[in-house]
Amino acid sequence: MNVWDNEFAISIMPALLKGFWLTIQITFVSFAISLAVGLLVAIVRFLKIPVVSKLFDFYVSFVRGTPLLVQAYIAFFVLPLWGMGFDALPTGIVVLGINYSAYCAEVYRSGIEQVPTGQWEASRALSLPPARTWFRIVVPQAVRPIVPVMGNYLIMMFKDSAILSSITILELMGTSLQIGGNYYMYLEPMTIAGLLYLAISFPSSLLIRRLERRLVPAY
Amino acid sequence: MSPHTDILHTLNSPEPSSDIEISFAGVDKAWGDNHVLRGLDFEVKAGEKVSIIGPSGSGKTTILRILMTLETPDVGLVTVGGDTLWNVKPGEKARETKQTIATRRKVGMVFQQFNLFPHMTVLENVIEAPIHVLGLSKKDATERAVDLLELVGLKEHMKHTPPELSGGQQQRVAIARALAMRPRVMLFDEPTSALDPELIGEVLNVIRRLATTTDMTMLLVTHEMRFAQEISDRVVMFDKGVVVEAGPPDQIFKSPEHDRTRKFLEAVNPY
């Protein structure tokens, strides 16, 4: 008996590639959200504003302390009960972005802490306004050494986006599950899906390792 | 006439400010049990060039850091050009007010470790604050920066980044960056301590030039005794949070009144 059905594999390729393309789009939009929200969270926590910074501390603990799958279920199946229902795709993108923003905030923090005190003091001695100090002096220097770590998070997010299949999004994993369920044939769609994930994540991780060598011993 | 006369002239005050430029009155500063300033009373006249000498950890740098608002006094009154920088009453905590921020702009500082912005070019370092704090146009700020970089001998390095420069060159850029804000008071915090010996001269030359040709008030914390003697109007010997003695350089270096000054000078200059 033939285990692998080549014709079947070829016939499902268009659907899988469509899902693959959606996975890539989800990853980039979610990652942009987590980079922006994470930076905001990191700065607010760093400023130690009474109450507000504590709330953001809680935000990070909460998001990091609960599984992405649970967060996705709550956002998609529970929030609508409270009148906050959105389509699956935007919900999934936001959940993934929020989830990773907590991790990004921690990475930003380590980057910010690496900026020498002298940089803050020079900014102050020149009377640079706080916003200018943050975005022209501190953040550009904080980001450089953390680019490789952020790159690894991007790859992890790319793979974690598969969890969004559980809230009916037909990205690569969702599409594979649907094909598998319809034909009772899981081998081909799952194998191809795995290879497609690998085709992106493996070269990317090599690229990040090279970046690491170039960026980290800065200045 | 030297080509730098114009830019040096712009550093001078359009109108002479009040006679006393810097004043500390009853200033205390301590970290735990470590009292770095004890009821400090200290004045510097407008245009005066003052060197502060004394053992490490004696609070010399703290005087500069309080003037630059990098530290707050525990108690005391600090004024610059007659305006209040800090006014902390006993039992209160220092508060940074609008007045503090406005007064701070009269002060510029050069750090031991240069503290240039490493991700920006030399030119960008110098024009950043004039554009974003003083509101100069990019063109005007650049003109001013180019003149100042020429003054410190680094015009041709304008497009380089600080990590590409030697320590002496970086410190000269840092001086230009501080001058671009046209401060009335320039603070030099051990500006040559982090430099290789052969690079010290080029930085001292720039400071000497400023000291002899501008009417800026200058406060220099240094271990370069010969330089302090040469450029200062007055030398202040500082130890354990208080002024031990102060006077013209020749008096302090040649016939100090206090034992502590004599011992310190012997220790730094054993030959």
> Mean pLDDT in each 10-residue stretch from start to end of chain B (271 residues)?
68 72 94 90 94 88 96 95 93 91 95 96 97 96 96 95 95 97 96 93 95 94 92 93 92 91 86 64
- Residue B1: its pLDDT value, please? 42
Query: To the nearest whole angstrom, how far is the Cα of B27 from the nearest Cα of chain A?
Result: 21
Contact indicator for B250, B238 with CB cutoff of 8 Å: no
User: Domains in chain A, ordered, with CATH?
Assistant: 6-215 (1.10.3720.10)
Contact indicator for B76, B26 with CB cutoff of 8 Å: yes
User: Domains in chain B, ordered, with CATH?
Assistant: 5-268 (3.40.50.300)
Amino acid at B14: P
Distance CA B243, CA B41 (A): 8
Nearest CA in chain A to B135: A128
Distance CA B8, CA A209 (A): 51
Residues of B in contact with A218 (CB under 8 A): 118
Residues of B in contact with A125 (CB under 8 A): 68, 70, 107-109, 111, 178
Category of B65 on φ-ψ map: left (φ > 0), alpha (ψ -120 to 50) or beta: alpha
On whether any CB of chain B is under 8 Å from the CB of A130, the answer is no
Asked if the Cβ–Cβ distance from A126 to B163 is below 8 Å, we say: no
Length, in residues, of chain B: 271
DSSP secondary structure string, A134-198?
A: IIIIIHHHHHHHHHHHHHHHHHHHHHHGGGGGGGT--SHHHHHHHHHHHHT--HHHHHHHHHHHH
Distance CA B86, CA B25 (A): 10
Question: Strand B107-110 and strand B185-189: pairing?
Answer: parallel
Asked if the Cβ–Cβ distance from B133 to A127 is below 8 Å, we say: yes
Residue B110: phi and psi, rounded to 5, are: -115, 125
- Residue B241: its pLDDT value, please? 87
Mean pLDDT by 10 residues, chain A (219 residues): 84 96 97 97 93 94 95 93 89 96 96 96 96 95 92 95 94 94 93 96 92 68
Query: To the nearest whole angstrom, how far is the Cα of B68 from the nearest Cα of chain A?
Result: 6
Q: At what angle do helices B138-151 and B167-179 cross, to 10 degrees?
A: 130
Residues of B in contact with A135 (CB under 8 A): none
Distance CA B216, CA B212 (A): 10
3-state secondary structure (DSSP) of residue B59: coil
On whether any CB of chain B is under 8 Å from the CB of A50, the answer is no
- A101-156 tens-digit pLDDT: 999 999 999 999 999 999 999 999 999 999 999 999 999 999 988 999 999 999 99
On whether any CB of chain B is under 8 Å from the CB of A141, the answer is yes
Residues A141-177 as b or e (16 or more Cβ within 10 Å = b): bbbbbbbbbbbebbbebbebbbbbbbbebbbbbbbbb
Distance CA A132, CA B19 (A): 35
Asked if the Cβ–Cβ distance from B133 to A125 is below 8 Å, we say: no
Asked if the Cβ–Cβ distance from B70 to A128 is below 8 Å, we say: no
Nearest to B119 among A121, A126, A140 (CB): A140
